[in-house]
């Protein structure tokens, strides 16, 4: 897939097939995050891959999904993520610029995952203290966010809307994701 197509077809996925993701692919995805731009090249990020079966459910319990349509937007039993990447930031970098670094790294990883046909969802609503304990995150790091990963068991639909940006599921369970029309947000000269 070409980069433009990757960007335009990527959607947040919240329903996954029960197929494992190869560790080499997960490592390659993290490597793409590692290479993302970083303000003054401080590189404050670290990444924790979770793929062991016994950790998937405890991590899942620490996450909140699809606020607009919860609990309908939550992954159903048997459709949960098959891996996670927990995005960490060194505590010594407490400034807001690290949010930009995290965002760049996360977007790179989400697009890298999609290039393998792996769906993802960027989750910021995390029980951070509980997850820190479950994964034994080193004290010098704080959790920024979590990326869920898995081969998609759904195909969300993007649609342009001038009225709303609230995503929803239709009567067939298909997720619709409104996006503001380009003509409404683009200014030239």
Six token digits for residue 80: 């949960």
Per-residue pLDDT at 130: 98
Per-residue pLDDT at 73: 85
Domain ranges of the chain: 3-155, 156-189
Q: Compute the distance between CA of residue 13 and CA of residue 125 in angstroms, rounded to an integer.
A: 16
Per-residue pLDDT at 8: 95
Considering the domain delimited by 3-155, tell me its CATH architecture: 3-Layer(aba) Sandwich (3.40)
Q: What is the dihedral of CA 123, 126, 129, 130, to 10 degrees?
A: -100
Per-residue pLDDT at 123: 97
Six token digits for residue 16: 């996954």
* Contact assessment for residue 21 and residue 52, using Cβ atoms and an 8 Å cutoff: no
Per-residue pLDDT at 154: 96
- For the domain made up of 156-189, the CATH class stated in words is mainly beta
Name residues whose C-beta falls within 8 Å of residue 8's C-beta, 6 or more positions apart in sequence: none
Per-residue pLDDT at 96: 73
**Could you tell me whether strands 168-169 and 175-179 are parallel, antiparallel, or unpaired per DSSP bridges?**
antiparallel
- pLDDT mean values, one per 10 residues, the chain (189 residues): 92 97 98 95 94 98 90 92 97 83 96 98 97 97 97 96 91 93 95
52-57-62 Cα angle (round to 5): 115
Per-residue pLDDT at 97: 81
């Amino acid at each position: 897939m070409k980069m433009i197509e990757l960007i335009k077809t990527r959607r947040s996925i919240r329903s996954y097939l029960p197929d494992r993701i190869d560790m080499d692919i997960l490592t390659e995805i993290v490597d793409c995050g590692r290479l993302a731009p970083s303000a003054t090249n401080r590189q404050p990020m670290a990444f924790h891959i979770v793929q062991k079966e016994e950790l998937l459910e405890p991590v899942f319990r620490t996450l909140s999904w699809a606020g607009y349509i919860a609990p309908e937007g939550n992954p159903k039993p048997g459709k949960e993520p098959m891996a996670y990447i927990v995005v960490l930031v060194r505590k010594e970098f407490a400034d807001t610029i690290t949010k930009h670094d995290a965002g760049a790294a996360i977007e790179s990883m989400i697009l890298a995952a999609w290039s393998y046909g792996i769906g993802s969802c960027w989750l910021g609503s995390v029980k951070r203290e509980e997850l820190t304990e479950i994964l034994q995150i080193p004290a010098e790091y704080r959790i920024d966010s979590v990326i869920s990963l898995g081969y998609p068991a759904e195909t969300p639909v993007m649609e342009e809307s001038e009225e709303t940006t609230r995503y929803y599921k239709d009567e067939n369970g298909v997720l619709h994701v409104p996006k503001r029309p380009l003509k409404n947000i683009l200014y030239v000269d």
